Amino acid sequence: MDFKFTTLETCPAATGVVVVIDVLRAFSAAAFAFAAGAQDIVLVSGINEAFTLKTQFPGALLYGENHGLKVDGFDFGNSPSELSRQDLTGRRLIQRTSAGTQGVVRSAQADRLLVSSFVVAEATVRYIRQLAPPIVTFVVTGVIYERDGDEDMALAEYLQARLREQSPDPAPYLARVPRSTSGRIFADPAQPEFPTADLELCSQLDRFDFALEVTRQAGLLVLNKKSQL
């Protein structure tokens, strides 16, 4: 198994099995939404697109962010700690974020499309091993807005090591999350709109035992959990 690394700029060319990574916070939040009972999550690029889809699916809930902040009119922000307190049983969610969902939408040539974060790392590894692809491409979405994206690169490198049948100490990889450009924002008490609780939840390794896969359904990009691994 070989590996490639791309960013939001280069992921449109990625084919085969593509793993879109957003540790802080899109795909950590998605995992917590599924743990709270969500039925599925439709991933979109635009804010107006999210509102339009809600008119098609009246019971759907909108969540996500624009430049890190909750969008006016959305039901929730892109916050794992907020979503973990909800009862989302059987609800369809629509998620829009500035990095994670952009990576999914742009990876239009992928044959199999997964998303990942540290909270579902080992489940992602098991699912990729099951697929047994010759090449895996990691989309490091955090390289955006002059941020280093090292929280996402840390996960990509950790997944690569696990897929190579290595048993790395996860501590150095997890330590890169709060030290990353984005991580330092969440660690700053002067910026309460970026909760420290989210940073803590996003840094929990293997909290959930399911992978997350995107499928194309009637023109929508629909995220579901894959529990049977």
Q: How far apart are CA 122 and CA 46, in angstroms?
A: 31
Name 74's Cβ contacts closer than 8 Å, sequence gap at least 6.
50, 62, 63, 64
Burial 96-108 (b: 16+ CB within 10 A, else e): bbbbbbbbbbbbe
Domain locations in the chain? 2-224
Q: Is 98 left (phi over 0), alpha (psi -120 to 50) or beta?
A: alpha
Bridge-based pairing state of the strands 211-217 and 40-44: unpaired
Query: What pairs with residue 215 in β-bridges?
Result: 222
Helix, strand or coil, per DSSP, at residue 200: helix
**Confidence (pLDDT) at 229:** 55
Q: What is the pLDDT along the chain (229 residues), one digit of tens a residue?
A: 999 999 999 999 999 999 999 999 999 999 999 999 999 999 999 999 999 999 999 999 999 999 999 999 999 999 999 999 999 999 999 999 999 999 999 999 999 999 999 999 999 999 999 999 999 999 999 998 889 999 999 999 999 999 999 999 999 999 999 999 999 999 999 999 999 999 999 999 999 999 999 999 999 999 999 975 5
Q: How far apart are CA 69 and CA 65, in angstroms?
A: 5
Q: What is the rounded end-to-end Cα distance, in angstroms, of the chain?
A: 19
Bridge-based pairing state of the strands 220-226 and 211-217: antiparallel
Topology annotation, domain 2-224: putative 2-phosphosulfolactate phosphatase (3.90.1560)
Cis peptide before 25 (omega within 30 of 0): yes
